[in-house]
Structure formats: structure tokens, C-alpha cells
């Protein structure tokens, strides 16, 4: 259990900080959902930008439906035979 300070601060338990990968300077978001407080680690925009386009570069070109068929194993790329 944590105690709220006069400044409205609480200390997150170490197990929670470790599980979320939180350290000094980490940003978190709080939301109220169905009467419960939800804490989320905020991912910096720079991190998202670093990964932008990665999946696209790893898959063959084609429509979204064609990519989904490949991922599900419903067809084989380059006209290969599916067993």
C-alpha cells in the first residue's frame, strides 16, 4: 500500500516500476476506467518514429489482404506451392 503525500505524490512499488521498465524521468499516464485508476507507461514519440515503417520493409509488397494471407499461411509468396 502507498500513502499519498501532502503534495499529492505516491511512490510506486519497485515491482511495478520494474515490470513497466520505469526509471527516473519516465513518463506515465493516468486514466480513470470504471472507478479504477489505470497507470500506463508513456512511449516517447521518438521511439515510435524509430520503428515507423519497419514492418512494411519486412513484408513483400502487396495489398493488405495479400499480406494477411501470407501471415496466416493461406498462400505462399512468389507462386510457390502450398502443401
Reported as a single tens digit per residue, the pLDDT across 52-79 is: 777 666 666 677 787 788 778 876 655 5
Give the model's pLDDT for residue 15: 93
For residues 55 and 81, the model is more confident at 55
Give this prediction's pTM.
0.48
Q: Which three cell numbers stand for residue 46?
A: 521518438
Q: Alpha-carbon distance 23 to 17, whole Å?
A: 7
Q: Alpha-carbon distance 56 to 46, whole Å?
A: 18
- Domains (ranges, CATH) in the chain? 1-43 (2.10.260.10), 53-79 (no CATH)
Reported as a single tens digit per residue, the pLDDT across 21-35 is: 899 988 899 999 999
Amino acid at each position: 500500500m502507498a500513502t499519498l503525500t501532502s503534495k499529492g505524490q505516491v511512490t510506486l512499488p519497485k515491482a511495478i516500476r520494474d515490470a513497466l521498465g520505469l526509471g527516473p524521468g519516465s513518463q506515465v499516464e493516468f486514466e480513470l476506467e470504471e472507478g479504477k485508476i489505470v497507470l500506463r507507461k508513456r512511449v516517447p514519440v521518438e521511439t515510435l518514429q524509430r520503428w515507423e515503417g519497419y514492418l512494411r520493409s519486412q513484408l513483400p509488397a502487396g495489398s493488405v489482404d495479400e499480406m494477411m494471407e501470407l501471415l496466416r499461411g493461406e498462400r505462399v509468396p512468389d507462386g510457390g506451392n502450398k502443401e
